[in-house]
Amino acid sequence: MTKTSPATSSISSGEANFSNSYLVTRELSLSYGDRLAFEDVNFEVDRGEIVALIGPSGCGKTSFLSCLNRLTDLFPNCRVSGRIQIGSLDIMNPKIDSIALRRQVGMIFQKPNPFPFSIWKNIAFPLKEHGIKNRDCLDEIIERVLRDVGLWDEVKDRLKSSALGLSGGQQQRLCIARSLALEPEVLLMDEPCSALDPISSGIVEDLIASLRRKYTILIVTHNLAQAKRIADSAALFWVQNGSGRLIESGPVEQIFNAPKHSITAAYASGMRG
Ligand SMILES: Nc1ncnc2c1ncn2[C@@H]1O[C@H](COP(=O)(O)OP(=O)(O)OP(=O)(O)O)[C@@H](O)[C@H]1O
């Protein structure tokens, strides 16, 4: 598939190179009006990793995720400071094409959000928006991504039926397929399984695990067992002095078996949070 308009296509000045890691934040802070949601987050992720963002409600995990594809541009009263590098892209550069960026850095939300269209059109619509209009090409991509998420055999005979008729788990897999169709490099997932029943949650979790190495995945989850099962590394956020802080990040073995910080030890063992 031909990729159209990568976020850097028209902006050579949008390039960053302040770390060898793939995804990096430096002194990243975000406030809503006067309220500091999180501050001073320094974080590094290698390409192809699955990283679990964990921590109690309100510590800024979703807000942190939203900075990475500049979804925060859409929030009124939201101010972000610091630096973000993804690959060679300087995400904070105001000249970044945010539409193209969100193609490279896709987002999956807690509640599946299919468009009120057919299954076929749910995937075709964003592809058309990005300039892919050839019918054969669309059919090919749609079949490929539906196979990638294990949905093809379940829906191949009803591609023209409404996506809203799918189960919650099928809808979430469709939303992941919709993101994959745009060939992102990074997937941001905000509690993608938490609105699903246990069986569907397990299927989506297995799907996410199968995407390891092909995409860099940051997943917010309150399910510590899930974080241990699918993540390579984890990052614990916590509210300290009224705002979110990154307390500790590292391989999942470190976070859950040999944490360096007492808050991590308490949270990972289920004693706090
Ligand atoms: N759009 C917004 N406007 C104002 N305040 C917000 C907004 N979104 C989040 N906040 C506040 O910012 C803080 C961090 O919220 P955020 O949703 O990022 O935390 P979280 O760790 O993801 O929580 P949860 O696990 O419950 O989803 C909270 O105090 C929240 O009330």
Mutate to test the pocket of ligand 1, among 38, 61, 71 (most ligand atoms within 8 A of CB): 61
State whether ipTM is beyond 0.95.
Answer: yes
How long is the chain?
Answer: 273
Token pair in block for residue 179:
């993101």
Q: What's the pLDDT score for residue 14?
A: 61
Closest residue CA from atom 5 of ligand 1: 32
Residue-wise over 63-87: b if at least 16 C-beta within 10 A, else e?
bbbbbbbbbbeeeeebebebbbbbb
Mutate to test the pocket of ligand 1, among 30, 32, 74 (most ligand atoms within 8 A of CB): 32
- Please state which architecture CATH assigns to domain 12-268: 3-Layer(aba) Sandwich (3.40)
How far does the centroid of ligand 1 lie from the alpha carbon of residue 244, in Å? 10
Region 42-65 average pLDDT: 97
Q: What is the pTM of this model?
A: 0.91
For the chain, the average pLDDT equals 92
What are the boundaries of each domain within the chain?
12-268
How far does the centroid of ligand 1 lie from the alpha carbon of residue 61, in Å? 8
Interatomic CA distance for residues 128 and 138, integer angstroms: 9
Token pair in block for residue 173:
């897999």
Helix (H, G, I), strand (E, B) or coil at 261: coil
2 pLDDT band, cuts 50/70/90, is very low
Quick check: 268 and 255 in contact, CB under 8 A? yes
Quick check: 91 and 188 in contact, CB under 8 A? no
Interatomic CA distance for residues 264 and 10, integer angstroms: 43
Sheet holding 243-251, edge to edge: 89-90, 78-86, 23-32, 35-45, 243-251, 233-240, 50-54, 216-220, 186-190, 105-108
Beta carbon of 59 within 6 Å of any ligand 1 atom = yes
Q: What's the pLDDT score for residue 172?
A: 95
Beta carbon of 34 within 6 Å of any ligand 1 atom = no
Beta carbon of 58 within 6 Å of any ligand 1 atom = yes
